[in-house]
Amino acid sequence: MADFKRRTLTLSSGKQIKLYGNSMAIGSSLEVGEGAAPNILFFFEQQPEEKANANLSAPLSEDKPAKAKSFPKTSATVLNPHRLTVMEILEIADFNIGLWMQLKDNIRRHGLSNPRIFNREV
């Protein structure tokens, strides 16, 4: 089974495909490529801003033990800029699954080297 980690698609045959981005996409023509930008539904991780003057006002003293510096935790969120509903996201998923299934069926029917596997006029 294929696996996608660290921008590398590893196939069960052992072949590895290095990708520039972090996703693959299929278009309505059934052509497959890299998804350029995650801009519909995506994960976003942000480092919180540290307080610039937090320790500047505290006097330096040699008698006080140094405290371990605590690092602020990152916050993660899901971004949905188009404000899609759950049903709309599921509809997009079903649409893409359908395209991948069409591609599989067309490859089985016509073979990998036949341009008829794509949804195009040839």
Q: What is the pLDDT of residues 22-54, one digit of tens each?
A: 888 999 999 999 987 888 999 888 877 655 444
Domain map of the chain by residue range?
3-42+72-117
Which residue from 19, 18, 36 is spatially nearest to 27, judged by alpha carbons?
A: 36
The pTM assigned to this predicted structure is 0.71
Q: Per-residue pLDDT averaged across 2-27, rounded?
A: 90
pLDDT surpassing 90 at residue 100: yes
Instruction: Find all residues with CB under 8 Å of 26, minimum gap 6, and list them.
Output: 32, 96, 99, 100, 103
Query: Using 50, 70 and 90 to split pLDDT, how confident is the model at 105?
Result: very high
Cα 111 off chain centre by:
30
Query: Using 50, 70 and 90 to split pLDDT, how confident is the model at 69?
Result: low
